[in-house]
């Protein structure tokens, strides 16, 4: 399973200066099999641990994360380059998710009675076993948390393959679980390459798989799971529309869109990637966007005052730069930015693009970087055609003073989540997920907790009653 080349691919490379900080050795097939065996063995005890006792450990995980939020934030910044303040914010929301399930698990997992004409019936929720979680680098703690907090609280055990460029964040999370008292084998990291995942899915002791990543990765995992009849959930990215109605507060809409798009270096599945503005306010919106761009501070993500750091890696920066170059060649207007910055690190200029049409590749692509794409519409029908004109359907926003009208527009967008007057956000109690080629299944909230449980019906009635 591991080779010398693969060993060196699992490592921390500081994207601010491209220096290799630490390398991890890839695991052998035997090591992976042993970890899965241990997780399966741990499940036999963990599934019978009371929800109250499981929740107590989740409380402790949350408390440890909050206590160490600055150190954890610095580690995320070191490994993938996000601005430190945003990294600390990520740790806080991750802790809040653990706390949410710790506080609400007993209620959410309680038996649910069903009204029947005779006797009684109820649903009970039982964990199913070892869950394989495959997670990306853009939110190294939050992405782990979304799957681990719910599925472990529900009584499952988990083996997690994190992105190869954030191994220290993965290790830190496993250490925190152990410190909080989570039994051995309930959560363990797998240090393997992406191509090793399909054989792991096929292991009969793996009962389900959850993945956040690219469409090709998701399709591969879904196929592998389907072949062995295992449930999967997928979150595969997005190209979220941000529709600005003509009655919107233009300055507020600009600030929300620009801040949302530049957050995390633009490397957010649910960031407002396509800003779709009413013709009556388009010129004003464009002018104010230029003013907002002038306030962006590019620099060391560890330093206070920096608002935009590097992308996660040289490859990430090169990939986005190539998308911009191709869009320009196809006729898009690069208003601001568009190039790699002449400095060390995976930096890309914050970029503002207009005049993108369906004849261009960028119209249909997800752009995972600090690229603000502005569209103009004359009718709501035009806006919806643009909004629904890609394969994606993750999040989205409608901005307008008349919130009732905004909600009517929101209902017509093909997406898993739409926010009114706010960029797509995150809260522990709100289910997160998409439709179309953005994937299926939900994380967070009650929906996330129940994704990987056996919903069992227990019915009591008399033998002489009809079937």
Residues catalogued as catalytic: 235, 269
Angle (CA) 357 363 369, round 5°: 130
Query: Do residues 83 and 130 lie in contact, with contact meaning Cβ atoms separated by under 8 Å?
Result: no
Residues 408, 409, 412, 413, CA torsion sign: negative
- Report the alpha-carbon distance of residue 79 to residue 93 in Å, rounded: 19
- Nearest Cα to 167, choosing from 140, 198, 149, 197? 140
- Report the alpha-carbon distance of residue 143 to residue 157 in Å, rounded: 17
Give the length of the chain: 467
- Nearest Cα to 235, choosing from 432, 447, 94? 432
- Report the alpha-carbon distance of residue 372 to residue 352 in Å, rounded: 5
- Going from the C-alpha of 29 to that of each of 120, 129, 165, 401, the distances in angstroms are 49, 21, 21, 57
Residue 296 token pair: 């962006």
Which DSSP string do the residues of 139-206 spell out, in sequence order?
A: STTHHHHHHHHHHHHTT-EEEEE--TT-HHHHHHHHHHHHHTTPPTTSEEEE---GGGHHHHHHSTTE
- Report the alpha-carbon distance of residue 180 to residue 64 in Å, rounded: 8
Burial of 379 (0-12, 13-18, 19+ CB in 10 A): exposed
Phi and psi angles of residue 138, each rounded to the nearest 5 degrees, phi first: -70, -30
User: Is residue 299 helix, strand or coil?
Assistant: coil
């Amino acid at each position: 399973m591991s080779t010398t080349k693969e060993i060196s691919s699992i490592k921390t490379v500081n994207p601010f200066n491209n220096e290799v900080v630490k390398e991890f050795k890839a695991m052998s097939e035997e090591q992976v099999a042993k970890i899965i065996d241990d997780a399966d063995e741990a499940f036999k005890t963990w599934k019978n641990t009371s929800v109250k006792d499981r929740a107590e450990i989740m409380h402790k995980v949350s408390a440890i994360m909050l206590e160490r939020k600055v150190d954890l934030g610095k580690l995320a910044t070191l490994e993938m380059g996000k601005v430190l303040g945003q990294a600390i914010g990520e740790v806080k929301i991750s802790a809040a998710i653990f706390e949410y399930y710790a506080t609400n698990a007993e209620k959410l997992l309680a038996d649910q009675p069903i009204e029947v004409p005779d006797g009684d019936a109820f649903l009970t929720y039982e964990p199913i076993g070892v869950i394989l979680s495959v997670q990306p680098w853009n939110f190294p703690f939050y992405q782990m948390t979304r799957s681990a907090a719910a599925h472990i609280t529900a009584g499952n055990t988990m083996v997690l393959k994190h992105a190869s460029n954030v191994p220290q964040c993965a290790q830190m999370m496993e250490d925190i679980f152990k410190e909080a008292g989570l039994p051995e084998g309930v959560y363990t990291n797998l240090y393997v390459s992406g191509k090793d995942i399909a054989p792991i899915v096929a292991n009969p002791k793996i009962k389900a798989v959850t993945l956040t990543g690219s469409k090709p990765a998701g399709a591969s995992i879904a196929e592998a799971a389907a072949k062995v009849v295992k449930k999967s959930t997928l979150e595969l990215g997005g190209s979220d529309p941000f529709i600005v109605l003509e009655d919107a507060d233009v300055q507020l809409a600009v600030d929300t869109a620009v801040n949302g798009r530049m957050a995390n270096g633009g490397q957010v599945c649910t960031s407002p990637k396509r800003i779709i503005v009413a013709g009556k306010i388009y010129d004003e919106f464009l002018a104010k966007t230029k003013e907002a761009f002038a306030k962006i501070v590019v620099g060391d993500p560890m330093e206070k005052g920096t608002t935009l750091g590097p992308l996660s890696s040289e490859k990430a920066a090169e990939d986005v730069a190539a998308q911009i170059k191709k869009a320009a060649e196809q006729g898009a207007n690069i208003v601001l930015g568009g190039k790699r910055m002449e400095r060390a690190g995976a930096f890309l200029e914050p970029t503002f693009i207009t005049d993108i049409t369906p004849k261009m590749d960028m119209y249909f692509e997800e752009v995972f970087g600090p690229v603000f794409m502005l569209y103009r519409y004359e009718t709501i029908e035009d806006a919806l055609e643009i909004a629904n004109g890609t394969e994606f359907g993750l999040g989205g926003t409608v901005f307008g003073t008349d919130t009732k009208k905004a909600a009517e527009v929101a209902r017509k967008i093909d997406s898993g989540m739409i926010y009114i007057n706010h960029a797509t956000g995150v809260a522990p109690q709100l289910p997160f997920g998409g439709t179309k080629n953005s994937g299926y299944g939900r994380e967070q909230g009650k929906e996330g907790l129940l994704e990987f449980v056996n919903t069992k019906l227990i019915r009591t009635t008399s033998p002489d009653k009809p079937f």
